[in-house]
Amino acid sequence: MSSESPMIDILGKPVKRIGVIGSGQIGPDIALHFSKVFSPAGVPVVVVDISEDALERGRSKLNKKVDRGVESGAFRSEQGEKMKNGVVFTSDYSQLAGCDLVVEAATEDKALKGKIFSQVQELVAEDAVLCSNSSHLEPEVIFHGISNPGRTMVVHYFFPAERNPIVEIVPGKETNGELTHDMMGFYEAIGKIPIKVGSRYGYAIDPVFEGMFLAAALLVEEGVASSREVDQVACDVLDYPVGPFTAMNLTGGNPITAVGLDNYNEKIHSWYRTPEILRKAVADETAWEVPARGEKVEVPEETFAAVRDALLGAYFGIVGEIVDSGISNVADMDMAVETALDVKAPFRLMNSLGMEESLALAKKYADGHPGFPVPKCLADQASTGTPFPIPLVLREDHGSIAHVIVRRPRHLNALNNEAFLQIENHFKEISGDPAIDGVLLTGFGVKAFVSGADVGFLAKIDSAKMGEETSSGSQASVQAIEDCPKPVICAMNGLAFGGGNEIAMACDVRIARAGLKVFVGQPEVNLGIIPGAGGTQRLPRWVGVEKAAELMRTGRPISSAEALAIGLISEEVPGDPRALRRRATELLHGAIRGEAPFKGIESGPLQTPDELAEADLGHLSTEVDRILRRAIVEGCRLPLKEGIAMEARFFGEVCATQDMRIGVTNFLENGPRTPAKFVNA
């Protein structure tokens, strides 16, 4: 967000001043993230604490993190200075006056939090949003007695708050529903991944973190394994970056975990409790015995199996109970647990093990641990004999407009086979839904609409036949968008490469966030392949054969401004993704009313030259270019659907080349910045 960009707003009111209360472990990190986003627009962040020592430590912590970011190249030097200068550390609560958003990050004490908000509500405007970064307390408890509870909610950050993208948005019973929805969009706009969670003590993610520590502690308490062994198995089986005991040592989390587990016992179920070894560790202020950095602990096979089964059974039971409770859902839990806690996604892990085995592990754990419930959602899914459906593409209906949202933020919304299939199913259902008049297709976040196809699934292609089948499958999903009888607009919230641009081109109209310097590209030639989801045929029909051929043959990305100039998009929209979606909705309603109907794509043959103009291929494969030129020229001379079918055959042909194997392997091993060494360059 530059100083020329519109300010980020909440319910239409620009955020011009932000308050953070608490300069302890997490407050300065919250302030750091706000400053990163808002300092370019000159929005001050005020950190308030009654302790001058805490303020000084917080200031020092923030400055050191910014300086490290400058040294690593994450921030430019001038950006770093703006970030540091944009945060005010003060003990003067009156500095919160004029704040549009206040996030409290004080000690986890309901009396203290209540006292803070009683004071803050007198300092800020009636419509200022008041949030608590509580890790456990229900919003109804924190904001009890507040004069306007409709503007309050919990916004729970995860360590480290400036980098961990997950935030839990927890509205209370009296929180304004429109505000809750807009705060989800606000946090998306500032680069976080918000999930909405029902109000229950501990919310959705901490019971997983603390529950898995309890499971680990019980293994030690019961004499099954040592803390060092449990940490090693947790890393091996669940991909913990460090084991649960090491994590407790690093975060100093023993005291708050002990309090949380005792409260879970009352508020969730009786398995949760503070084990005796944790009580002793808190009382003695002792650290856990854990593996040294980089040490590989050898665990006997029988011990490893016992710990593995217990950790998996507990994991599946804990996440399943949270879904059973209704405070969250499979899609959010799978994404948020993996991202916030940096462990294997629980429901995908169950799917990979199989429903019967996953259920058996949960039952085995429950049999040995009184009070531990076997999740109904897991038992029900196992009874179907099919894996958990895990939405990667979400559908949200807003009146008569269906929003279809690609949400794979860890992968920049890249499309795998399942995502393609979910897009297809959504559009087929929408096509037959009489309650829906129009469709808005977009991506989650501010970085990418869809960054392309997941290269991992391209690497599995081992023949021309499999290549053609893969292309045809992707084309069918994209065709479902184009075949939708209702107006479809693509709100391109970020970059759209490869398959991302291909699904966008199947929409009737495309609009984009303004000012995207790197926006659209068909970079397939860098991988030694050609577009395979209709790109060789739709791009020429939107921007002309000559321009389309140049972009596809060189893989050159273009800005949103150039996309507008060549006719690929119809409009650039200033602001964040919410502004883009609002504008898309306006255009859809205009089309539905018949005031400005969407024209859609030309479906007939195109006038196409026998030979395309020369292109600077650089290091790219001449063999891949030959196949691509044939796909463009021969395909565009046919009606659109026939040209797309021809594209699939050419995609199969390119998948049989040595250069395809070189390009895909190079990408997976060296990343996109390292040019492949094609044999036909």
Active-site residues, by number, are 502, 524
What gap in Å lies between CA 349 and CA 331, rounded to an integer?
13
**What is the distance between the terminal CA atoms of the chain, rounded to a whole angstrom?**
40
The secondary structure element, H or E, covering residue 512 is strand 509-513
Residue 516, CB-side half-sphere exposure with 13 Å CA sphere: 32
Which residues, other chains included, contact 527 with Cβ-Cβ below 8 Å and sequence gap of 6+? 455, 458, 660, 663, 664, 667, 676
H helices within 487-638, ranges in order? 499-505, 535-543, 545-554, 560-566, 577-593, 622-636
Q: d(Cα 131, Cα 472) in Å, to the nearest integer?
A: 49
* CA 481 – CA 487 distance, rounded (Å): 10
Q: Are 370 and 386 in contact (CB under 8 A)?
A: no
Token duo for residue 141: 């408890």
Strand order across the beta sheet in which 488-492 lies: 393-398, 401-406, 438-443, 488-492, 509-513, 571-573
* DSSP secondary structure, 463-475, as one string: SHHHHHHHHHHHH
Angle (nearest 5°) at CA 460 between 456 and 464: 130
**How many CB atoms sit inside 10 A of residue 644's CB?**
25
Contacts of 135 (CB under 8 A, 6+ apart): 108, 156, 202, 203, 206, 256, 260
The residues, ordered by sequence, that sit 6+ positions from 276 with a Cβ below 8 Å of its Cβ are: 221
- Beta strand 509-513 with 193-196 is unpaired
Mention every residue, 6+ apart, whose C-beta is less than 8 A from residue 642. 635
The first and second tokens of residue 464, run together, are 């021309």
E strands along 401-468, which residues? 401-406, 438-443, 448-450
Within 10 angstroms of residue 541's Cβ, the number of other Cβ atoms is: 19
Query: Quick one: which H or E segment has residue 157?
Result: strand 152-157
Question: Are the CB atoms for 184 and 196 separated by under 8 Å?
Answer: yes
Residues 548/538, Cβ–Cβ less than 8 Å: no
